Chain A
């Protein structure tokens, strides 16, 4: 990439100690980058480490190994006032609209809090800014004095977005922003995020397990499996021509869009392994229809196979992508 990435994650690992014997690596040697104005989606199932990775990028935790750079600056080991200062550039919206707002604060207070924290403007200016933000996310101004319990799930999520925008961040991390919302409300929030990106050029890191939402909003995708990234690339390409067997299995498992598209599917067996006791070598090998002996002993590295795609699979050679026998067309 010609320009500096906004967020650079380099070989980051985070592990937790379960008890005196066992550690679990929630994130294991992950690298990725996020550029201004783009939406990168982290996709994976439970235990893949995407939420932990999001917390690391936001420096809510520090990685045990690796580096994280924000706008060119290394923030891996920052703390205290220095870290607080950098937080202005990265904001987050959360999955559960019922838990992400302090139930004892009014909507206006919630949105104003970041402005208060950094002493931005005078109090009257902050109040005006709160009104503007609420307008921007489509909430009525008179909701300013309402408490979260008086708002619906969709309204709360909008409030969370307004709060996240208050500091004019360059990066927005959206952790499953619509999975707790009803279908009819999701469209509102998804459209809002897309609009905000177009208007402010914010980079969005979307963490999601919902392929349909991801397909709709992403520029690039990174697929995670048990703490590692197994494939990255432009969203449209990865979704239409997945290279990694797990990506293929994942896409195959997504329910169809129309009954006439029903087909006999080759579903992979077994459950998603837990990161506590991951399989050796390639973590997908026990469930992979194409696994070889090498897959169980040697960890595949994430290698570039095209100029903008990488895959971590022994069976996909760099610059010689395996010709997939069936490609999954994303049906409309």
Chain B
């Protein structure tokens, strides 16, 4: 009565193609992953490894890079190598925390706005307003009100990033909402929260996690800028930004003070962005197979 599906091995046409092709990673992606692992290791272990990075040693001022001081020293004789490595902690912490909070809040707001038409206009209007606030100015304002420390810095960078995540989530939700599997979920009696968190969100994770990596990279850059301007991390705690801030004055005498932290920053942001790009390529549903020869 029913078809002979039972006697035939009839897996779908698509199954052969997807797994192998996407498992191979390009060289660039592999490199960025290794690089990121290296950065994480540095962030975790650096204070133990590099010894002293705070002591002022005026006898060793402005030493160029050499055998004794690999990246040279700054105007107070502190080792650039040590300080750069420790600065990794700040950058990674800021990057990850901002990405995490901006994502959580942005996604919740975006889910709500995308799914409930009534809320959409109001919420998105609020988000537009928020996006209009420049991060740097907000950081300066918060720093002057509450004192410049890591918390205010993170808040100042996160707040303008939330609308970006919210907007993206909302647009993904809007398109997913019209897919027939969501309509099907409604017709089989699935409750709205379940539709949002069981159907829509898991299918949006791909796009959203890519954006989260970009948010992280942007946050790292912003923190450096803010520290450079003096409204970020206070100078006792090394951050690439504030190392470079100092180095700016001595740029002609000792370019390595700006050079090495800058290089660290470049490579980290590059690695994060490369990772984001490769995630996007792998998770883009359009690369999944539709065999219509």
List A residues at the B interface (Cβ < 8 Å): 58, 60, 84, 87-88, 90-92, 94-96, 98-104, 113-114, 117-118, 135-140, 149-153, 155, 160, 163-164, 166-167, 188, 192, 195
Contact = CB atoms under 8 A, between A and B. Distances in A.
Contact of A100 (B10, B184, B194, B288): B184
B3 interface: yes
Given A138-B6, A149-B288, A155-B12, A195 B187 contact: no
Majority secondary structure of chain B interface residues (helix, strand, loop or mixed) = helix
B237 interface: no
Interface residues of B, number: 32
16 contacts: A84-B191, A87-B187, A87-B189, A88-B189, A90-B187, A91-B187, A92-B184, A94-B180, A99-B181, A100-B180, A103-B285, A150-B11, A151-B12, A152-B11, A155-B12, A195-B1
B68 to A, nearest CB: 56
B15 A149 contact: yes
Given A149-B12, A166-B188, A167-B188, A60 B5 contact: no
Contact of B189 (A117, A138, A155): A117
Contacts of A113: 185, 188, 190
The 3 closest A-B pairs by CB, nearest first: A138-B2, A114-B188, A152-B12
Given A94-B183, A98-B290, A104 B188 contact: no
A78 to B, nearest CB: 13
A137 B3 CA distance: 9
A90 B186 CA distance: 12
A137 B2 contact: yes
A186 to B, nearest CB: 12
A312 B188 CA distance: 36
Interface in B133-190: 179-181, 183-190
A150 B187 contact: no
B248 to A, nearest CB: 50
A155 B5 contact: yes
Contacts of B189: 84, 87-88, 114, 117-118, 167
Contacts of B183: 60, 92, 94
Given A60-B183, A152-B11, 19 more contacts: A84-B189, A87-B188, A91-B188, A92-B183, A94-B180, A94-B183, A98-B290, A103-B203, A103-B285, A104-B199, A104-B203, A113-B188, A117-B189, A117-B191, A140-B6, A150-B15, A153-B12, A155-B5, A195-B1
